[in-house]
Amino acid sequence: MKNINVHIIALISIFFWGISYIWSKQVFEVYSPLTTIFLRLLISFISLFIFIYLTKQIEKIRKEDRLLFLVSSMFNPFLYFIGENFGLKLVPASLSAIIVATIPLFAPFAAYFYFKERLKPLNLAGLILSFIGLLLILITKNFEFQANPKGVALLFLAVFSAVFYVVFLKKLTARYKPLTIITWQNLIGTLYFLPFFLFFDFKTFISIKPDTSVILSLFMLGIFASSLAFVLFTITVKRLGVIKSSLYTNLIPVFTAIFSYYFLGEVFSVQKLAGMAIVIAGVILSESGKISSIYSTNIKETKI
């Protein structure tokens, strides 16, 4: 694969993740976040399972790893999607993407506590810089909170769920292909959400007749954002390595901001734009001083 093609693949995956916030907002106009998550994961599992079945990549899960899959799936997709989707319901898409983009800032701290990996000054500097950027976005000139505090708290639930999830992911990627992990975790996540969906949303769900745009957005989320984007990004990591691939993820809030402006009519003040730029700069600064081995899994040697 030519190097330029790999960069195109990376941008395509980031494109899907960036626009996924817009698709979610569109689905929220008809369905609740709970229904959206359940259907998104179900669609993703079915599409991924069909793919690995047709390509004969089905791996058997070892008995001793079943609990690891169950616990890791509790953090992601279960808790992660609860935080991200319910937070996204209350907070603008661009701000949601910015907050979720801070995940790499906190991962080194998980690596320090769980794997005794050394923190570097740039990790702390990046965290402080990004925190300043978030304050610019969240606080007005009159020192008033301009975002829903509950929504922001839920989004940080997604962030910390993802950070803890990486701890389990490190163990899983040493034993299984990324496609296997994503497929079965999405199935387990679907099962986790099923009783909540049936109890809280099922009656409303069967009474709703969604239009074509909502159905299309749901399938876009399930097939492109939760399935294809992961496959493409895994190829990117394999070809470019962890560090260069991680830098691409910093573009997700940029894509989301552009799509939010054109599709959702979000307004961006100079202060908000400056805050977004500072957050992204902080993430890049933090990542330039590491990539901790918590991300340096066997993914590069794994066949897609």
Tens-digit pLDDT string for the chain (304 aa): 556 688 889 899 989 999 999 999 999 999 999 999 999 999 999 999 999 999 999 899 999 999 999 999 999 999 999 999 999 999 999 889 989 988 877 776 776 676 666 667 777 787 788 888 888 877 766 666 778 999 999 999 999 998 888 778 778 878 888 889 999 999 999 999 999 999 999 999 999 999 999 999 999 999 999 999 988 887 887 777 655 666 677 788 888 988 998 998 888 888 888 888 888 888 777 766 554 444 444 433 333 4
Q: State the Cα–Cα distance between residues 164 and 183, nearest whole angstrom.
A: 19
- Tokens encoding 250: 């910093």
- Cα three-residue angle 160-228-165, rounded to 5 degrees: 20
139: phi then psi, degrees, rounded to nearest 5: -110, 135
Torsion of CA 232, 235, 236, 237, to 10 degrees: 130
Whether the Cβ atoms of residue 186 and residue 48 lie closer than 8 Å to each other: yes
pLDDT at position 244, please?
66
Whether the Cβ atoms of residue 180 and residue 69 lie closer than 8 Å to each other: no
pLDDT at position 103, please?
82
Q: State the Cα–Cα distance between residues 239 and 248, nearest whole angstrom.
A: 13
Secondary-structure breakdown of the chain: helix, strand, coil percentages, each rounded to the nearest 5? 80, 0, 20
Helices (H) and strands (E) in the chain, counts: 15, 0
pLDDT at position 144, please?
65
Task: Give the Cβ contact number of residue 30 at 10 Å.
Answer: 18
Q: In which residue are the tokens 């005794």 written?
A: 116
Q: Which helix (H) or strand (E) holds 133?
A: helix 121-138
pLDDT at position 297, please?
42
What is the tally of structural domains in the chain?
A: 1
pLDDT at position 277, please?
87
pTM across the whole model? 0.84
b/e code 122-141 from CB counts within 10 Å (16+ = b):
bbeebbebbeebbebbbeee
b/e code 242-264 from CB counts within 10 Å (16+ = b):
beebbbbbbbbbbbbbebbeeee
pLDDT at position 296, please?
42
Backbone torsion region of residue 116, taken as left when φ is above 0, otherwise alpha when ψ lies between -120 and 50, otherwise beta: left
Whether the Cβ atoms of residue 24 and residue 254 lie closer than 8 Å to each other: no
Whether the Cβ atoms of residue 98 and residue 136 lie closer than 8 Å to each other: no
Per the structure, the complete domain to which residue 14 belongs is given by 3-301
Q: State the Cα–Cα distance between residues 261 and 19, nearest whole angstrom.
A: 12
Torsion of CA 291, 252, 276, 161, to 10 degrees: -60
Whether the Cβ atoms of residue 276 and residue 137 lie closer than 8 Å to each other: yes
pLDDT at position 282, please?
81
pLDDT at position 220, please?
97
